[in-house]
C-alpha cells in the first residue's frame, strides 16, 4: 500500500537512500615527475608532479575494484587507469557508510587545504562535476574534528586487495 507523500515520507526516503549508497573510496597517488599522459578521449594532458586524490564508488565488489586499481595489467578503460599505471598508490581511503554521494564526497577532498583542480572531465563523464581528481603539492591529510580519519578502513580493505 502506497503511503501518502509528505515531508516525513520525503525524509524517510532520503534516509533509506543514504543507507544504500555504495562505499566510496579515494585513491591517493604520488607522481614523482611532471609528465604528459594521453587519457583516452580527454587527449594529452599535463600532470604536474605531486599527489593526486581520485574519488570513486563501488556498488558491487569493492575489493575487486581496488584490486583492479592496484593492478598494472589491465586494459585502460577508465581515466584513472592511465594514471594508476604510472603513479604510485600511497593510500586508499574508504568510506564504508557514506552519508554523501561520490560527487559530494569529492567536494570534501577539494576542501582539504592545498587542493587544486586539474583539467576538466577526469572521472566525471557521468556527472556534472569539474572532475573527480584533486591535485596536491604535498601529501594531503584529511582531518575531521582535528583527527585524521579513514585510516582504519584503509587497512581492512588493503588486507584483501594487495598488489
What is the rounded CA–CA span in Å between residue 28 and residue 56?
12
- Least spacing, CB of residue 101 vs Zn ion, in Å: 8
Query: Can residue 139 be called a binding residue for Zn ion (CB under 5 A)?
Result: no
- Least spacing, CB of residue 56 vs Zn ion, in Å: 10
Query: Can residue 127 be called a binding residue for Zn ion (CB under 5 A)?
Result: yes
CA torsion 127-131-134-135 (nearest 10°) is 170
Size of the site for Zn ion (CB under 5 A): 4
What is the rounded CA–CA span in Å between residue 117 and residue 134?
5
Query: Can residue 129 be called a binding residue for Zn ion (CB under 5 A)?
Result: yes
Three cell numbers, residue 61: 565488489
Three cell numbers, residue 109: 577532498
- Least spacing, CB of residue 108 vs Zn ion, in Å: 12
Tell me the window of 10-18, 45-53, 56-64, 117-125 that interacts with Zn ion (CB under 5 A): 117-125
Tell me the window of 21-29, 66-74, 76-84, 96-104 that interacts with Zn ion (CB under 5 A): 96-104
> From the list 42, 103, 112, 154, which residue makes contact with Zn ion (rule: CB under 5 A)?
103
Which of 15, 6, 18 has the alpha carbon at shortest distance from 98?
Answer: 18
Q: Report yes or no: 51 and 139 within 8 Å, Cβ to Cβ.
A: yes
Query: Can residue 108 be called a binding residue for Zn ion (CB under 5 A)?
Result: no
Q: What is the DSSP-derived secondary structure letter of residue 116?
A: B
Nearer to Zn ion, 109 or 129 (CB): 129
Q: What is the DSSP-derived secondary structure letter of residue 99?
A: S
What is the binding site for Zn ion (CB under 5 A)? 103, 124, 127, 129
Amino acid at each position: 500500500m502506497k503511503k501518502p507523500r509528505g515531508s516525513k515520507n520525503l525524509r524517510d526516503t532520503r534516509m533509506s537512500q543514504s543507507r544504500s549508497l555504495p562505499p566510496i573510496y579515494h585513491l591517493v597517488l604520488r607522481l614523482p615527475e611532471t609528465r604528459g599522459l594521453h587519457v583516452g578521449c580527454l587527449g594529452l594532458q599535463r600532470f604536474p608532479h605531486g599527489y593526486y586524490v581520485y574519488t570513486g564508488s563501488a556498488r558491487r565488489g569493492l575489493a575487486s575494484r581496488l584490486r583492479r586499481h592496484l593492478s598494472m595489467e589491465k586494459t585502460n578503460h577508465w581515466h584513472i587507469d592511465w594514471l594508476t599505471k604510472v603513479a604510485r598508490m600511497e593510500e586508499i581511503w574508504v568510506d564504508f557508510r557514506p552519508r554523501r554521494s561520490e560527487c559530494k564526497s569529492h567536494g570534501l577532498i577539494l576542501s582539504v587545504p592545498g587542493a587544486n583542480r586539474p583539467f576538466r572531465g577526469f572521472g566525471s563523464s557521468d556527472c556534472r562535476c569539474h572532475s573527480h581528481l584533486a591535485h596536491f603539492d604535498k601529501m594531503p591529510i584529511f582531518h575531521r574534528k582535528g583527527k585524521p580519519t579513514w585510516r582504519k578502513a584503509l587497512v581492512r580493505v588493503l588486507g584483501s586487495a594487495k598488489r
